[in-house]
Amino acid sequence: MMIRKILYILTVVACVWIMLLYTFQGLRFLLGILLVIPAVCLVFLLVRAPFCSVELEESMVFVGRGEYIRLPVKAVNRGLLPVAGVQVKLSEEAPGSGRTNQRSRLRGVGGRVKRPFDLDFEAKHCGQARFRVKSARIFDCLGLFTLPVRKKGNLSVWILPIAAPVRPDEAEFLVNCMRMYQDGEDGDYLVRDYRPGDSPRSVHWKLTARAEELQVRDFQPEGGLNLFLHMTEELQSEEKRDLFLDKAFSLLLFMAGQDMGGFQVSWVQAGSLCGSRIESTGDVLSCIRQLLCVEKVGKLQSEEELGRRLRGCHLEADGRLYLGEQCAYEE
């Protein structure tokens, strides 16, 4: 668009320069046309701008890591006259890549239509990606002028880990652990999602502000195996964190698919012990969403509590599965 403006200005300057040297009537007429046409384009653009907008569908979707996020964008023209095109600038805030912008153009939006078009972003790392329309402008048929139009909509996308089949030795190890703890109880203090009927006094406000969902302290004992996800400082790297979440996701799906009752998953966040109860495969997604909100690895305030957790079933940062000091890969 900038090149078009430069070429147009150079053409007008050339016509004026030639007219200063010669008195051609045709050149005067041509110069008049070159000056009138942009003015007409600008007037028509001013008339159509109030009737145009760009909308990003407000929704929440799930994609797997490594896939492409397809953003549903709509160019809306409520006026009778068509628009030459729409220029959109989207802002992306994704894990591992910070905040970036992407520009796109859509040419030809007729009158009284809503024309959808898609923009693709690559989901590189696990976490929550947020998108919004940073700017939206319409331009004329010559590409000389642009005017801002209304924009609205935000989109949140959860980038999930990649689930893989569990190794046979790990599967046998987990089944034996679940049988061992099938009739046991775990009365530890945990932080979980809010459920209707929970007391307002049990709300953990600090974690609620980070997770953007109500988190409560749970003092009720839960039966079955507890799997502790030992997220240490080794997982500060996005690549290592992705591999750890892939491993945890695969194990949770396998354990949820076993018809042996529910189990508990716990981890450390902001110095507190958090957890989620898994009764079926549908609960795994909710648990993974909580794990994706763990921005930084934290240490448990009570070292004694952490030591007691590591004596049970736990997944280490290097992806190795233990029951106390017994590793799943050792005879």
Round to whole Å and give the CA distance between 323 and 328.
8
- Residue 187: predicted pLDDT: 44
Q: Say what the pLDDT of residue 184 is.
A: 47
Pairwise CA distance, residues 312 & 275, whole Å: 15
Q: What is the mean pLDDT of the chain?
A: 81
Question: Residues 276, 193: contact at Cβ < 8 Å?
Answer: yes
Question: DSSP of 160-205, one letter per residue?
Answer: EPPP-PPPHHHHHHHHHHHHHTTT-EE---EEEE--TT--GGGB-H
* Between 19 and 189, the higher pLDDT residue: 19
pLDDT (tens digit, 9 = 90+) per residue, 82-111? 898 899 999 988 887 778 888 888 888 888
What's the residue count for the chain? Answer: 331
Q: Name residue 130's beta-bridge partners.
A: 93, 156
What is the b/e burial string over 160-191, where b = at least 16 CB atoms within 10 angstroms of the residue's CB?
bbbbeebeeebbebbeebbeebeeeebebebb
Could you tell me the two tokens for 12?
């007008």
Q: Name which of 106, 143, 109 is nearest 7 in CA terms.
A: 143
CA count, 13 A, side-chain hemisphere, 241: 23
Looking at the chain, list the stretches that DSSP marks H as alpha helix, in order from N- to C-terminal side: 2-21, 25-48, 168-180, 205-211, 238-256, 281-292, 303-310
Q: Quick one: CA torsion of 169, 305, 272, 160, rounded to 10 degrees?
A: 0
Residue 113: pLDDT over 80: yes
- Cα–Cα dist 277/312, whole Å: 17
Segment 200-234, tens digit of pLDDT: 766 777 667 766 677 776 544 445 688 999 888 88
Report residue 2's pLDDT band, with 50, 70 and 90 as the boundaries. low
